[in-house]
Amino acid sequence: MSTSADIGLWGVPLAILGGAIRVSTPFLFVSLGECLTERSGRINLGLEGTLVFGAMAGYAIAFQTGSAWAGVLAAALAGTVFGLFHGWICKFRGVNDIAIGIAMMLLGSGLAFFFGKPYIQPVAPDLPAIPLGWWSDVTQVQAALQINVLFLIGAAFSVALWWVFKSTRVGLTIRVVGDSTDAARAMGLNPDLVRLLATAAGGALAGVGGAYLSLYYPGSWNEGVSSGQGLMAVALVIFARWNPVYCFWAALLFGGAGALGPALQSVGVSQGYYLFYAAPYVLTLGLLIATSSPNRALEGAPGELSITK
Amino acid sequence: MSHERALPTGAIGVEAVGMTMRFGDFTALDNVTVNIRPGTFHALLGENGAGKSTLVKCIMGFYHATSGGVLVDGHEALMTDPKAAHALGLGMVYQHFTLVPSLTAAENLVISRADAPRVINWGKERADLAAFMARMPFHVPLDQPVNRLAAGEKQKLEILKQLYLGRRFLILDEPTSVLTPAEAEDVLGHVRALTRAGEITVLMITHKFREVTRFADDLTVLRRGSHAGGGAVAELSHDDMARMMMGADPDLRSIDRTGGAGAVVLKLDGVRATDRSGLKPIEIDALDVRAGEVLGIAGVSGNGQMELMEILTGQRALEGGAVMVKGNAFTATRAEAKAHKVRYLPEEPLRNACAPKMSVAENLAFRLFDVGAGPKPRFWKSGRQIAENAQAMIAGFKIKTASPQSPIAALSGGNVQRAVLARELSGDVDLLIVSNPCFGLDFAAVSAIRARIIAARNKGAAVLLISEDLDEILELSDRIVVMSEGRIAYETPGATADVAEIGRYMAGHG
């Protein structure tokens, strides 16, 4: 049954694929949350903090209750609270959403470290995964296709969000508010309220992304659980042109880049693989440079977004 | 459309009775009565600050009038807020577009409905929209994002939106200020046809007499918040209207042209660039502007004029060719502009030529704050020099401002324009590049600014005038070129220009 050594260099793409699916889930959730928030015309850089706090809260509650799903729910609730706080502060005049976002990022991480101290040692239950590689005898294939339920939920959610933006009143309302505050007011909408709710929902998604980190991969709570996924997701949303379905593919791409280092290490590349650990960051920089232009405005950018105004 | 069938259709009459609106001590509107008969096209004339906006905002329920009321179809109506006005069938098209730029026309229409469905069945909505469009006299592409539509199409869509929402009394706030003459003619013609058909009643705020005589049935003129005159348009001449608006005989003198064209000042040679969308090329093979002439560039908006302006102001990179000023390559740096005495009046000067939150005095000093007595630039700024300069310019150009220290963003559009023009025309000017200088300005401001431009020309400046207002081009230019699809399509001397011919080239078929 065990044929692990036979596949040789094929292990690299396979490990990247498996890694992409495993690593991409937090990217996916945070980027969908950020996409939702940015479509309403506000940018929430605090999602990195929300992610870390969600990871802590999810792990702690899962440990206390013995249920990983209760942990996910707790992480989503914590994310909602962070989002509501961000959205509430930003409605005041003269408040800059980016500055508040950075403050929230530090606050979220700090609170998570403070409350998370007692949970570094204990072991909480993991989230379930579906073995989609049952048809193969090769252990690497089985490992790569061990797919977490949250990944599938996230994939479904990206399509759902795309549909919401296209075909529902709620989605169109969010887009109207994000694109033109004046037009929204003229329509009798309350832009602050729409943004508050969009930021809260975005925070909930980022919280779930955090729960995935601590409850599945890497699967434990410690202070280094996030490696900047929350911030990279902001770049990812720009790269995905604010389209939820593109967010899914972009998250996979970033996940694959993140898996490059471990994959090379697993086939015995012993030199310079640390450089490949930097692949997601290099990719972030490279993509943003490649897709930008000095002469053109970003296609698809919400008009009220402070970074693209 | 179910929501439309539920409402009664047909034009309604609106009467504002004894409207008075006070803001503190200031009376913006003083006992004004206007009767807009059902099915008529009514024009509301007045200078900036005459109270036109205040009046329509009271009618629409944005403001609560200090005293007076509104009768809709003869019944007293309480306009507590815009929603109450909408419910009675009153709608307004604002001067600035209220469409959502990145949404398609269809999405804009559907989401603007108060009863927009929770889940939108696009198949059904599309069929409904097609049926609605079939009844309308004009059409717009429904599947394009609004930001890809031309200004004229956006304005049509704004009007369509009001009709789609079942409004039967429309207020149009300077609807043609962003349109070309042909577009304006087209849109207003359709609007008038709708009033004639008894579908809607229209109240249009405007500055343009020509549009009033051409399209309106009745007319009301406001001056300083009071009713200054009105009646049937057919019985009034342009002079009558001007007299009602200004109080006395208007200052219509146009400065005579003196002198003729001299040496070439600005020369464009094989200029290549890409337009805003990054898709269409801008290709100007040869363009000269001589000293002592006004070269007018006509064209429908979106045909590369804005990009040409950006090339000349250094805001857009060249991909090929050269811009030469007096025989030297020109890249629009501050040093070059100063050396060659090149000055600019870009469109939307508050955005493109001012620091909105800095004071009027500081904005007026942008050309001189670092100029020292000798050849070396000044290090310490001189408060006195800035103040004296501001005082002179504010008096010289009749800029209306509360004080030189107030932020320039607080000034009205015409006064910002005057302020920028004052700054740009100070000292010697060899090349003046102007884009849509009178966009959205009232009558008095327009004639003052045009006179200044001609005066600069008479003093020997080369003037490049980019404008979407063909009347303005015809009035000011010694020579006219038409820009179409990013190229120079046609050239003619101003004196013998044939409007129909120019219009054909503007429309893209020469």
Contact A172 B107 (CB under 8 A): yes
How many angstroms away from the CA of A126 is the closest CA of chain B? 37
CA distance B301 to B179: 8
Q: Where residue B500 falls among pLDDT bands split at 50, 70, 90?
A: confident
> What's the mean pLDDT in A32-57?
95
Residue B253's pLDDT is what?
Answer: 45
Contact A172 B83 (CB under 8 A): no
Pick the CATH number of B265-506 from 1.10.357.10, 3.40.50.300, 2.60.40.10, 3.30.930.10: 3.40.50.300
Compute CA distances B224 → B15, B221, B228, B288, whole Å. Answer: 20, 10, 9, 45
Residue B278's pLDDT is what?
Answer: 67
Q: Where residue B457 falls among pLDDT bands split at 50, 70, 90?
A: very high
Contact A303 B119 (CB under 8 A): no
Note the pLDDT tens digit of each residue in B328-346.
999 989 889 989 999 999 8
Give me the amino acid identity at B365.
A
Compute CA distances B415 → B272, B363, B410, whole Å. Answer: 35, 13, 10
Residue B111 has pLDDT above 60, yes or no: yes
φ, ψ of residue B498 in degrees (nearest 5): -110, 115
Q: Where residue B5 falls among pLDDT bands split at 50, 70, 90?
A: very low
Note the pLDDT tens digit of each residue in B13-38.
999 999 999 887 778 899 999 999 99
Q: Where residue A6 falls among pLDDT bands split at 50, 70, 90?
A: low
Residue A16's pLDDT is what?
Answer: 86
Contact B276 A169 (CB under 8 A): no
Set of chain B residues whose Cβ sits within 8 Å of the Cβ of A183: 98-100
| DSSP-derived secondary structure for A201-257 | HHHHHHHHHHHHHHHTSS-S--TTS-SSHHHHHHHHHHHTTT-HHHHHHHHHHHHHH
φ, ψ of residue B222 in degrees (nearest 5): -110, 140
Residue B372 has pLDDT above 80, yes or no: no
How much of chain B is in helix, strand and coil states, percent to nearest 5?
A: 35, 25, 40
Length of chain A counted residue by residue: 309
Place of tokens 């779930």: A208
Residue A254 has pLDDT above 50, yes or no: yes
The sign of the CA dihedral A85, A91, A92, A98 is positive
Residue with the bigger pLDDT between A22 and B2: it is: A22
Q: Residue B264's closest CA among B327, B204, B313?
A: B327
Query: Could you state, in order of their start, the residue ranges of all structural domains in chain B?
Result: 14-246, 265-506
Residue B50 has pLDDT above 50, yes or no: yes
**Cβ-based contacts under 8 A for chains A and B:** 66
**Tokens for B431?**
């090349």
Residue A46 has pLDDT above 70, yes or no: yes
Residue A161's pLDDT is what?
Answer: 97
Note the pLDDT tens digit of each residue in B175-222.
876 676 677 888 899 999 999 999 899 999 987 778 888 999 999 999
Compute CA distances A186 → B232, B278, B314, B455, B500, whole Å. Answer: 33, 32, 36, 43, 39
Q: For domain B14-246, give the CATH superfamily.
A: P-loop containing nucleotide triphosphate hydrolases (3.40.50.300)
Residue A134's pLDDT is what?
Answer: 83
Q: What is the largest CA-CA distance in chain A?
A: 67
Set of chain B residues whose Cβ sits within 8 Å of the Cβ of A302: 102
- 3-class secondary structure, B294: strand
Element (H, E) at A131: strand A129-131
What does the mean pLDDT of chain A come to?
Answer: 88
B102 closest CB neighbour out of A175, A293, A294: A175
Set of chain B residues whose Cβ sits within 8 Å of the Cβ of A176: 100, 103, 111
Q: What is the CATH number of the domain that holds A295?
A: 1.10.3470
Q: Where residue B381 falls among pLDDT bands split at 50, 70, 90?
A: confident
Q: Where residue A308 falls among pLDDT bands split at 50, 70, 90?
A: low
Q: Helix A279-291 crosses helix A229-239 at what angle (to 10 degrees)? A: 30
Instruction: Give the residues across from B464 on adjacent strands.
Output: B295, B433
Task: Judge if B14-246 and B265-506 fold alike in CATH terms.
Answer: yes
CA distance A182 to B199: 28
> What's the mean pLDDT in A170-191?
89
Radius of gyration of chain B from Cα atoms?
A: 25
Minimum CA–CA partner of A39 in chain B: B102
The sign of the CA dihedral B195, B201, B204, B209 is positive
Instruction: Kindly provide the ipTM of the predicted complex, given to two decimals.
Output: 0.85
> What's the mean pLDDT in B89-101?
85
What does the mean pLDDT of chain B come to?
Answer: 86
Question: In which order are the strands placed within the sheet that holds B264-274?
Answer: B281-290, B264-274, B320-325, B328-329
> What's the mean pLDDT in A49-59?
96
A168 closest CB neighbour out of B82, B119, B316: B119
A interface residues, B as partner, C-beta within 8 Å: 166-170, 172-173, 175-176, 179-180, 182-184, 186-188, 293-297, 300, 302-303
CA distance B32 to B36: 13
Q: Where residue A297 falls among pLDDT bands split at 50, 70, 90?
A: low
Looking at chain A, the whole-number percentage of residues with pLDDT higher than 70 is 95
Element (H, E) at B491: strand B487-493
How many angstroms away from the CA of A193 is the closest CA of chain B? 17
Q: Which of A164, A168, A172 would best serve as a mutation to test chain B binding (most B beta carbons within 10 A)?
A: A172
| DSSP-derived secondary structure for B233-286 | GGG--HHHHHHHHHSS------PPP-S---SEEEEEEEEEEE-TTSSSEEEEEE
- 3-class secondary structure, B398: coil
CA dihedral A163, A165, A168, A171 (to 10 degrees): 150
Beta strands in B275-417 (DSSP E): 281-290, 294-298, 320-325, 328-329, 342-345
Set of chain B residues whose Cβ sits within 8 Å of the Cβ of A182: 96, 98
> Count of CB atoms within 10 A of residue B227's CB?
19
Residue with the bigger pLDDT between A305 and B171: it is: B171
Number of domains in chain A: 1
Compute CA distances B126 → B4, B7, B98, B422, whole Å. Answer: 15, 21, 22, 52
Domain range enclosing A21: 4-308
> What's the mean pLDDT in B2-18?
70
Note the pLDDT tens digit of each residue in A118-144.
998 888 888 888 888 888 888 878 888
Instruction: Give the residues across from B170 on adjacent strands.
Output: B91, B202
Residue with the bigger pLDDT between A53 and B427: it is: A53
Q: Which residues 67-126 in chain B show a CB within 8 A of chain A? A: 82-83, 94, 96, 98-103, 107, 110-112, 114, 116-122
CB of A82 within 8 A of CB of A122?
no
In chain B, DSSP finds a helix count (H) and a strand count (E) of 18, 20
φ, ψ of residue B494 in degrees (nearest 5): -65, -35
